[in-house]
Amino acid sequence: MSRPPSLFVVAAPSGTGKTTMVNRLVQRNTCCKLSISYTTRAQRPTEKHGRDYLFVTQESFQSLKRSGKLLESALVFDNFYGTSRSQVEQCLLDGHHVILEIDWQGARKVRKSMPDCITIFILPPSQCELENRLRGRKTDTEDVINRRLSDAIDDMSHWIEFEHVIINDDLTKAVDQLEAIVLGDRQTNPATNPQLIEQIENILVSAAEIGID
Ligand code: ADP
Ligand code: 5GP
């Protein structure tokens, strides 16, 4: 590993492709481990307890929170999600990079409690493509898709709080960029890349225009 075991926070609007990207990263790099979050959301038919999430009741979630077992937690689309503190700490102690796939609210909290973490925001290439991906996934109802699409506009505005930004257009290229950040080989820091900022601004403006229609 070219850097010491580190904590990476990956956030993106739902449907952008962050799970797909992170899964590929973890498959390719055994030094990286994905943190499995707790959630009160209903389990999708394709999901497995312990692999995709730790599915818990509202009561269990609140008890985990009260007893300090969550590194961060947030209410996202009316369900609670949270990161296991012990899982993250153990993985780092074992010498692995840890990847958190969480929302921007959670990212803010982790940044406060673990300021050395490395934060990465992933954007879809456009709002239309985000809609195609949410529909193509076939995991959510029409109401859920519409809620996620409208929340995406606000979610995207938080890119500025992240150290790195990746646009997930071509999946292979996006995973390569993520891998390069994690392995410490490359910078995708918008502050040093005016072309990237222009691309990000175009995505946000077009998403906002669709949101107004
Ligand atoms: P998220 O974890 O951000 O909610 P997913 O990883 O579940 O998103 O991806 C949403 C859908 O988009 C999935 O069907 C996935 O296969 C597809 N997808 C992901 N990245 C791309 C890409 N670059 N191009 C086309 N489809 C993609
Ligand atoms: P989904 O229901 O599609 O699996 O996830 C919905 C949203 O919850 C995604 O934006 C995802 O990043 C976020 N999320 C998943 N796990 C966590 C977590 O542990 N903490 C926080 N804050 N958000 C999470």
In Å, how far from its chain's centre is CA 107?
9
Please tell me the distance from the alpha carbon of residue 60 to that of residue 72, in angstroms, as a whole number: 15
Pocket test for ligand 2, best of 16, 52, 81 (most atoms within 8 A of CB): 81
Pick from 100, 94, 92, 95: which is nearest to 19 by CA? Answer: 100
Residue 11 lies in a domain: yes
For residue 125, what is the domain's CATH number? 3.40.50.300
Instruction: Please give the distance, rounded to the nearest whole angstrom, from the Cα atom of residue 30 to the centre of ligand 1.
Output: 22
102-141 tens-digit pLDDT: 999 999 999 999 999 999 999 999 999 999 999 999 888 9
Strands (DSSP E) found in 12-163: 32-34, 38-39, 54-55, 70-76, 79-84, 97-101, 118-123
Taking CB atoms and a 6 Å cutoff, what residues make up the pocket around ligand 1? Answer: 12, 14-20, 133, 136-137, 168, 171, 174
The count of domains in the chain is 1
Please tell me the distance from the alpha carbon of residue 61 to that of residue 83, in angstroms, as a whole number: 11
With a pLDDT cut of 70, the percent of the chain lying above it is 96
Residue 76 lies in a domain: no
Residue 142 lies in a domain: yes
Residue 56 lies in a domain: no
Which range of residues forms the domain containing residue 105?
A: 7-34+98-210
Pocket test for ligand 2, best of 69, 100, 102, 140 (most atoms within 8 A of CB): 102
138-183 tens-digit pLDDT: 888 999 999 999 999 999 999 999 999 999 999 999 999 999 999 9
Q: What is the CA radius of gyration of the chain?
A: 17
Tokens, residue 67: 């007893």
Instruction: Say if residue 92's pLDDT is above 70.
Output: yes
Instruction: Please give the distance, rounded to the nearest whole angstrom, from the Cα atom of residue 16 to the centre of ligand 1.
Output: 6
Ligand nearest the Cα atom of residue 20: 1
Residue 75 lies in a domain: no
Sign of the C-alpha dihedral computed for residues 117, 99, 50 and 167 taken in this order:
positive
Supply the pTM of this predicted model: 0.94
Q: Which atom of ligand 2 is nearest to the CA of 155?
A: 10
Q: Which atom of ligand 2 is nearest to the CA of 38?
A: 19
Residue 23 lies in a domain: yes
Query: Nearest 5°: CA angle at 41, between 36 and 42?
Result: 110
